[in-house]
Chain A
């Protein structure tokens, strides 16, 4: 890879490295394939619905008046929660499977920092976040720190799914979903499963808050259209970066 032939700093300092890299011009690079984008947004919507219904299930704040056979508030919340759980679980499974068969930037090596360079970039990114450096490391796909964080997020997804299935099995009756009740003793009983499920939700929501902000931050400071890329699949990257990740 030939480093870009540019002069450092100076001319347009406020967008310094964008300026010097851009002398070769920007190009549209397709990074997120359709499956990555679709699952991302489906999972996000599912989580929001799960969180709203889940918070109600944990703390039913609205109490309807009238005869009980005229109402079905908790019941409805649980039905919505359960159907959304199916969508959520399938989307997560598809995304995880896609890590092994999908396009280059969808694969597992975008998450696990297996190469020396990606491990180095985890540190560069940490430095950027802690104001020790101005420049986020260059990456076409996920920056390695973000990738690492997403591993944790996927772990949270699985925590939700496993504890959710265990909770579902409690009331599953003779349905085949009863098979998940083997999870209950492993999780330390239904009450503890519920507790884990509840705490993991707040960790996910905490991630959500962080994620939106860092998406905005990185989008602004890199100027490569990061947020747009989750919709369109394309990032705008300096020409010289093209083969950087490969």
Chain B
């Protein structure tokens, strides 16, 4: 698949995207990455004039949701044009070639552009049964990931499956699924764009940042770009005022729900999840989950399927009492139990002291066994 001409202006024109729109896109990207609007000029310049890197897109144990997210565009936008400018040499879902021809394309990139291409990975990598759970062209996902990722200039894991294992890795993880960084140790540059699916805006902005500056954006401890994952959902949420004031939805469809109050008591995981959904939204900023009246389920966090469940409860249960148990109930009755046990215990002690003071049951000499103390 040949990349389109590098003449961005011509391409934009051909697709009916005005230059004004293109510059608007550049400043939107600048703002999103956390740069002043003035950086838009640098971005526009880079997109117009710098050579575009080769990119391969690998799909493993996935639902193609990230591809969907990436491709979906309601109108031909500047973003689309920019991403088309990347020379995407391999992408199972969208490439024209099939079968061996397709695999050859991938091999030739790995061989001829070693250390120069970007590998985007979607889906987790199964390690159980020698990798038999996912094979492409006779090779296991693990083999392919090893070859392609360790020779790439950088690896971008998109979606929670590729970053942290995601759904396939949820307990009991029958296929031994791992995220890319865990399956292929020693990758030099790894960018994680978690979320289920990845937000196309964040992928675009990451790529634009790289094209402009020739390096990758600053990341958090989980290798996620700070511009997208630096703040919790909760801290940017439009329902935050209701949270702070103590106004919560208590049942789906109750008055508070219709009024758009905070979804905290419905198990919203916004306070413990990091992403920029409230700011950039989804589907061209049409909406986002909490705006639709549903709590955040923490889709961008490691092991969210295990840790953030039950999705409609504030916390998982008390250890040993099942996942759906209520910590506060167990804790409260446990505390009452301790108090009752000790209360009874005290009564028995005092009772025995009164009753059993006959004499045959002589108390031990308290000083015995305590002599020669060496404290």
- Which of B242, B271, B331, B372 contacts A205 (CB under 8 A)? B331
**Is there contact, CB below 8 Å, between A171 and B338?**
no
Band of interface residues on B: 35 or more
Give the residues in chain A near B235, CB-CB below 8 Å: 170-171, 173
A25 at the interface (CB under 8 A from B): no
A182 and chain B: residue at smallest CB distance: B221
> What 4 pairs across the A-B complex have the smallest Cβ distances?
A202-B331, A73-B246, A213-B342, A190-B272
B373 and chain A: residue at smallest CB distance: A117
Q: Which of B105-113, B204-212, B362-370 is near enough to bind chain A?
A: B362-370
Q: Which of A13-21, A30-38, A226-234 is near enough to bind chain B?
A: A13-21
**Is there contact, CB below 8 Å, between B375 and A115?**
yes
**Is there contact, CB below 8 Å, between A244 and B370?**
yes
Chain B's nearest CB lies how many Å from the CB of A97?
22
**Is there contact, CB below 8 Å, between B244 and A72?**
yes
- Which of B220, B234, B248, B269 contacts A191 (CB under 8 A)? B269
**Is there contact, CB below 8 Å, between A62 and B272?**
no
Chain B's nearest CB lies how many Å from the CB of A182?
7
**Is there contact, CB below 8 Å, between A201 and B364?**
no
B9 at the interface (CB under 8 A from A): no
**Is there contact, CB below 8 Å, between A184 and B221?**
yes
B257 at the interface (CB under 8 A from A): no
Docked CA distance A137–B220 (Å): 54
Give the residues in chain A near B335, CB-CB below 8 Å: 202, 205-206, 208-209
Chain A's nearest CB lies how many Å from the CB of B98?
41
- Which of A10, A21, A59, A120 contacts B328 (CB under 8 A)? A59
- Which of B242, B315, B318 contacts A58 (CB under 8 A)? B315
Chain A's nearest CB lies how many Å from the CB of B309?
10
A4 and chain B: residue at smallest CB distance: B367
User: A173-204 toward B: CB 8 Å interface, digit per residue (1/0)?
Assistant: 10000000110110011111111001101100
- Residue pairs across A and B with Cβ atoms less than 8 A apart, 10 shown, are A4-B367, A68-B242, A135-B366, A138-B370, A171-B232, A171-B234, A190-B232, A199-B318, A205-B335, A246-B375
Docked CA distance A117–B235 (Å): 55
Docked CA distance A138–B375 (Å): 13
Give the residues in chain B near A138, CB-CB below 8 Å: 366-367, 370
B338 and chain A: residue at smallest CB distance: A209
- Which of A63, A115, A121, A193 contacts B247 (CB under 8 A)? A63
B315 and chain A: residue at smallest CB distance: A195
- Most chain A beta-carbon neighbours within 10 Å: one of B301, B346, B370: B370
**Is there contact, CB below 8 Å, between A14 and B339?**
no
Docked CA distance A246–B358 (Å): 36
**Is there contact, CB below 8 Å, between A60 and B334?**
no
Docked CA distance A181–B271 (Å): 14
Give the residues in chain A near B316, CB-CB below 8 Å: 195
**Is there contact, CB below 8 Å, between A9 and B247?**
no
Give the residues in chain A near B354, CB-CB below 8 Å: 14
Chain A's nearest CB lies how many Å from the CB of B260?
10
Give the residues in chain B near A201, CB-CB below 8 Å: 331
Interface residues of B in 306-351 (CB under 8 A from A): 307-308, 314-316, 318-319, 327-328, 330-332, 334-336, 338-339, 342-343, 345-346, 348-350
A246 and chain B: residue at smallest CB distance: B375
Docked CA distance A157–B280 (Å): 40
Q: Which residues of B contact A (CB under 8 A)?
A: 220-222, 231-232, 234-235, 241-248, 250, 256, 261, 264-265, 269, 271-273, 298, 301-303, 307-308, 314-316, 318-319, 327-328, 330-332, 334-336, 338-339, 342-343, 345-346, 348-350, 352-354, 357-359, 361-367, 369-375
Give the residues in chain A near B363, CB-CB below 8 Å: 8-9, 16-17, 133-135
Docked CA distance A193–B272 (Å): 9
- Which of A4, A58, A210 contacts B342 (CB under 8 A)? A210
**Is there contact, CB below 8 Å, between B245 and A60?**
no
Docked CA distance A115–B289 (Å): 60
**Is there contact, CB below 8 Å, between A198 and B245?**
no
Docked CA distance A134–B292 (Å): 66
Known: A75-B244, A209-B336. 11 other contacts (CB 8 A): A68-B261, A134-B363, A170-B271, A182-B221, A199-B318, A199-B319, A206-B338, A209-B339, A210-B339, A221-B349, A221-B353
Give the residues in chain A near B370, CB-CB below 8 Å: 117, 120-121, 137-138, 244
Q: Indicate whether A62 sits within 8 Å of B375 (C-beta atoms), given known contacts A17-B366, A138-B370, A185-B222.
A: no
**Is there contact, CB below 8 Å, between A170 and B272?**
yes
A113 and chain B: residue at smallest CB distance: B375
A220 at the interface (CB under 8 A from B): yes
B374 and chain A: residue at smallest CB distance: A115
**Is there contact, CB below 8 Å, between A68 and B234?**
no
Chain A's nearest CB lies how many Å from the CB of B247?
6
A109 at the interface (CB under 8 A from B): yes
**Is there contact, CB below 8 Å, between B301 and A191?**
yes
Chain B's nearest CB lies how many Å from the CB of A46?
18
- Which of B220, B246, B359 contacts A60 (CB under 8 A)? B246
Chain A's nearest CB lies how many Å from the CB of B362?
5
**Is there contact, CB below 8 Å, between A62 and B246?**
yes
Docked CA distance A242–B354 (Å): 29
- Which of A10, A63, A68 contacts B359 (CB under 8 A)? A10
Give the residues in chain A near B358, CB-CB below 8 Å: 13
A74 at the interface (CB under 8 A from B): yes
Give the residues in chain B near A4, CB-CB below 8 Å: 367
